[in-house]
A and B are shown apart, each in its own frame.
Chain A
Amino acid sequence: DTGVSQNPRHKITKRGQNVTFRCDPISEHNRLYWYRQTLGQGPEFLTYFQNEAQLEKSRLLSDRFSAERPKGSFSTLEIQRTEQGDSAMYLCASSFPSGSFSYEQYFGPGTRLTVT
């Protein structure tokens, strides 16, 4: 168990550019979540996958955001035409396959995005 990994750890981009982040969950986990955390705030839910199916998207996820999990393993989060308001820490979490939602979500270290 190597934990949840995210790449890159830091990304600086200019406004209007596209960026893509990657998350590799713990291998036996079939649930994968993306969250966004801004300074001084708790993480906010963006979207959720069960296996390769994207089952829920927050209204925070504008049309410029897209997420995929093509083979039910790693996931990518792409932001098109970045804006300064997109600057945040993007967190990925995964959890065990279970009918219960009380299982722990394991978080990755996050990708810090700075849009200049």
Chain B
Amino acid sequence: GDSVTQMEGPVTLSEEAFLTINCTYTATGYPSLFWYVQYPGEGLQLLLKATKADDKGSNKGFEATYRKETTSFHLEKGSVQVSDSAVYFCALIGGSQGNLIFGKGTKLSVKP
């Protein structure tokens, strides 16, 4: 079945460092891909999405490009801030009714 694999955390970075969180997927067809973020004590929020190959999703300085040839959707940010500390989930639309299939999440801690 469809699945998502993302790099394990936790990831600890200093403020203004470059961030990459790797995400690869297995799916039939060409699913829509998403990054969700969960800040401490809050619910899941959509960070960005891409719906077809070579699409780049971007939001709040984060970017991810839908790479069909490598079945990847890596999350990047050029300069992280303390406020980016959260758990990041890669996900795809799977199943016959559009349910999301999530990776296990990557916890990011940014130190000042």
Residues of chain A whose beta carbon lies under 8 Å from any beta carbon of chain B: 4, 31, 33, 35, 40-45, 48, 50, 55-56, 91, 93, 95, 101-102, 104-110
Q: Are A104 and B46 in contact (CB under 8 A)?
A: yes
Other CB < 8 Å A-B pairs besides A42-B4, A42-B104, A43-B44, 4 of them? A48-B99, A56-B96, A95-B98, A104-B34
Question: Measured between alpha carbons, how far is A40 from B105 in the docked complex, in Å?
Answer: 7
Residue among B32, B95, B99 with the highest chain A CB neighbour number at 10 A: B99
> Cβ of A109 and Cβ of B42 under 8 Å apart?
yes
Asked if B61 is an interface residue, CB under 8 A from chain A, the answer is no
Q: Give the CA-CA distance A47 to B105 in the complex, in Å.
A: 21
Q: Is the CB of B102 within 8 A of A42?
A: yes
| CA of A109 to CA of B44, assembled, Å | 7
- Residues from chain B with a CB closer than 8 A to the CB of A102 are 32, 49, 51, 93
Say yes or no for B110: interface residue by CB 8 A criterion: no
In the complex the two chains form, is A48's CB within 8 Å of B44's CB?
no
| Contact yes or no, A105 B100, CB < 8 A | yes
Q: B48 to chain A: closest CB distance in Å? A: 10
- CB nearest to B91 among chain A residues: A42
